Structure 1
Amino acid sequence: MKTPHAVSCFVFAGCVALMPNVHAQTANAMPVASSPGAGSGSATQADKKLARDVRKALSRAPNFNVSNVFVKARGGVVTLSGSVPDGPQIEQAAEVAMSVPGVTSVSNHLSLYTKGY
């Protein structure tokens, strides 16, 4: 007679263990974007082209090492991140990026790369 009681206890324990993983949606929940281009964080084709143009301009700049520089563009605003080996290259990168047609402003988050770290 104890076997059915033990089984029901295991079923109850399993249900309780799974309960924290269940989340109810409220009526004012934000809908999730289903298409890749629907969210505000996704880049448009124009943004991607602008980022490529800036990266190409940086690669053509004299004495500039672009190997650890990342470029992101959103609506004309270009963000530079990563690292460069020489301090003057940080300002040079911003100047080169501003010279690219379509760039309205530059957010420069480049840092100085130090060997051994």
Structure 2
Amino acid sequence: MLHGREPELVRLVVLVEDARDGAAGSVLVRGEPGVGKSALLAVVVSDRVRDRLIEETGGNPLALVELPTGLSSAHLDGTEPLPPQLMLTTGVERVFLDRSRCLTGPAQTFMLVAAADDTGRLVAALARR
């Protein structure tokens, strides 16, 4: 299931262990759907925690790697409940900001409006176009 992902697995395990000791860090896990990105996360967190992280991140590989670094080992192994609101790490915020700055002014405005729309109507309207 994780064939060919050994270097990423080692990096992820080290990253999570370092995070448990208070260090910050990140790793990018990329690949086509179905190649094992979520399986990597399952190695270091409980199934329930993994499922919630995947749900809340929409499967975003960067967020899947970054969010667990802000959780305690008790959160990750499922012995303590996850906080009601999972917080973005500075790594996710930095990458998003860097990418947003590359967008045109109108695209940045659209992203801001889309982010502020918690009803989902904007996305639904655009999908109908």
TM-score by length of 2: 0.24
Instruction: Write 1 or 2 for the structure with the bigger share of strand.
Output: 1
TM-score by length of 1: 0.26
Q: Specify the structure having the higher radius of gyration (Cα).
A: 1
